[in-house]
Amino acid sequence: MLKDIIDNNENYQPGLSIDCVIFGFHDNQLKVLLIKVERANKWSLPGGFIPVDQDIDTAAITVLNSRTGVDGVFLRQFATFGKVDRNKQHFDKKTLEYLKIEEAKGKWLMRRFVTIGYYALVDFSKILPNPANRHEIVEWIDHKEVPELILDHREILDKALDTLRIELNLMPIGYNLLPEKFTIPELQKLYETILDKKLDRRNFLRKITNIGILTKLDEKKSNVAHKAPNLYSFDKEKYDEVLKNGLNQGW
């Protein structure tokens, strides 16, 4: 893996990487897919390098796909991070020794790196977190309980969430985060979780249905306490149309 890349580092863009913030939604919680390598004591965002013969968007899809197995999902570039010392001393001599990387080749890793941030929205239920190898742990972690991350990954994660919050006002969200059939309260919880604030049930219903991207199904959710809520699905055609044109016109 990493060693293969180092050994063939001329096939990759030097000093440039990709990090993905992969969001999922489960148990009314916003989850983030994080990775921990055996030896490390901190978690990190799934990332990767950019083959010289691949578009950066393609490289991002590869990163996402290798960890989640899904493709065709919502994936968007949101920012590029390039503080001078952002990866200072990340790969020290000891780590290189441990990874059995020659010092000469290790220099490729030790140089200053700029990273391009992407965020993805995926259907939690369809994902089986997929470790790249047996030395790696991949896990969904509640975004409110994210532990200390390596480098500036915390900053990257925060910026991704900020972007998602802003984009919530510009486009519909949910198609990639919820199962095919869902209830309005579930969709509302998703919005509330992302925005980290309570919304009025009745006003939410009116606003979300007025957008015209929902199809009310002739079916109720089963096995629930209390009144069974109606099931809905997204009208993909209208959803994509709104995605393209945006929600609010503003001026």
The contact set with a second copy (CB under 8 A) reads 13-16, 50, 52-57, 77, 79-80, 82-84, 111-112, 114, 116, 166, 168-170, 191, 195, 199, 207, 246-251
Cβ-based nearer residue to a second copy, 40 or 247: 247
Report how far apart, in Å, the C-alpha atoms of 207 and of each of 43, 169, 187, 195 are.
38, 12, 12, 16
Nearest to 122 by CA among 77, 163, 76, 154: 76
**CB burial of residue 89 (10 Å; 0-12, 13-18, 19+):** exposed
Near DNA by CB under 7 A, which window of 42-50, 78-86, 172-180, 201-209? 201-209
> Please, what is the minimum distance in Å from the beta carbon of residue 61 to a second copy?
13
Instruction: Establish if 195 lies at the interface with DNA (CB under 7 A).
Output: no
CB of residue 190 vs DNA: minimum separation in angstroms?
A: 13
Residues 155-194 that bind DNA (CB under 7 A): 183-185
The entry of a second copy, DNA, none near residue 168 (CB within 5 to 8 angstroms by kind) is a second copy
Q: Which does 14 bind (CB under 5 to 8 A by kind): a second copy, DNA, none?
A: a second copy
- Residue 225 touches DNA, criterion: CB under 7 A: yes
Q: In angstroms, what is the minimal distance from the CB of 117 to a second copy? A: 9
236 is in the binding site of which of DNA, a second copy, none (Cβ under 5 to 8 A by kind)?
A: none
Q: Does 229 bind DNA (CB under 7 A)?
A: yes
For residue 122, the Cα-to-chain-centroid distance in whole angstroms is 7
> Binding string to DNA for residues 72 to 101, with x set by CB under 7 A, is what?
------------------------------
Q: Which residue has the tokens 């060693």?
A: 3
